[in-house]
Structure 1
């Protein structure tokens, strides 16, 4: 019985794990990055997210050299143009950004910071190949600018080890889990890493990192993970809500 309880899997969508969720990481502003491609796709994404229980959304377009026009000012303008077209959906949509920690990152610290909604958390990421050599100086720069660095999907940085994760947390980084990492969306290595970090209590927040409607629909059609993670995931979702209360 003990083995069965530990290894029982559930469909997290069917089980209602996402009910009432505030999603703090997704890419819903049309045509500004590799996320939604159109207003129609954004509407479909929000409608589908609402259908699985998500009730509030922080959209986090990428800020890095691949998208040179993206900064706090231009993205705020894009959101303001978008919102009137979505008012009938009755799902609050706020703005943040996912900042690449690269050679251009510090220039954005000199501008109004695009933290997550009205919180003081700044969502950051690194390359999936390796971290910048000045990673900890950049993290300290975020803190010096008055924000708290939140590292997006650390489970996806397979170049990191336990010591690196511990050092990042000690340096002041919060960790954000991509929820569907647990269901194998990014492969078994990432799923295993996500489970390890969750079991160690290293995550503080959770998001979906939704980009495109086709993949989101496929993901939620069969999103299974171990039932024993329901309690810690619900705790992370409560932390999400605390950012906006």
Structure 2
């Protein structure tokens, strides 16, 4: 089983805070039946250090050869615009042309998203995957924007934990609708701690 979004590399974002915690996350992932993991640390804050990420990824993948490891990034939309979208190809998933983008959870989708996404696709040849659309205020207010994403060929992930936020939670309802309408291309753990793999295993069993 493949998990294409997690924060298992220690000390580089708001996910694992130590190598010991990473080891516990690995155990939880293996227990959930995961044998392929795409690491997607946040490329969001100004202290992001790609060299450190790469070094720790190399250590992790070497320590656990039973898992197929791939390094990618969860690229914050506004941060990408700050550094320049010409740098986008530096943050693709492994040796693919896929890039994982996120807007700010609970906030609106930027008005210029169509222009920027089109440039990433047409100028840089990137395939865009959008993280957790069920968290964005714009989507919760107007689900039709999801169809606009799909019409542009944007892949969409649903974070497993969002499916279990409660029966009346808008984000949970949105996540389930994305799956029901065939707009979810991947259910992901978005794991920041070992417990998140339990939600992932449950979600894949029910909806995967």
TM-score (normalizing by structure 1):
0.73
Larger Rg: 1
Q: 1:206 aligns with which of 180, 187, 197?
A: 187
Matched residues, number: 203
Indicate which of 97, 100, 117 corresponds to 1:139: 117
Q: 1:138 to 1:176 in 2, by over 3 A?
A: same
Higher relative contact order (CA 8 A, sep 6+): 1
Tell me the alpha carbon deviations over residues 39-94 of structure 1, each in whole angstroms, 9 at most, x when there is no partner. Answer: 11111101111011111101100012x243334x553233224333x23x621221
Number of the residue aligned with 2:176: 195
What's the RMSD between the two structures over aligned residues? 2.7
Deviations 1:159-192 (A, max 9, x none): 3222211112222311111123223379722111
Q: TM-score, normalised by structure 2?
A: 0.84
Q: Quick one: distance in 1 between partners of 2:38 and 2:167?
A: 22
Distance 2:182 2:13 in 1: 32
CA distance in 1, matches of 2:170, 2:159: 14
Decide whether aligned partners of structure 1 residues 117 and 52 sit closer, same or farther in structure 2, where only a CA change above 3 A counts: same
Report matched runs for 1:146-185 at 5 Å: 146-160=125-139, 161-184=142-165
Structural mapping, 1:99-138, within 5 Å:
99-105=75-81, 107=84, 109-110=86-87, 112-128=89-105, 129-138=107-116
Which runs of no fewer than 5 residues in structure 1 stay unpaired? 1-20, 234-245
CA distance in 2, matches of 1:194, 1:113: 30
Give the match for residue 47 of structure 1: 27
Instruction: Quote how far apart the aligned CAs of 1:138 are.
Output: 2.1
Greater Cα shift, 127-136 or 178-187: 178-187
Could you tell me whether the CA contact under 8 Å between 2:40 and 2:74 is conserved in 1? yes
Query: What CA distance in whole angstroms lies between the structure 1 residues aligned with 2:54 and 2:131?
Result: 21
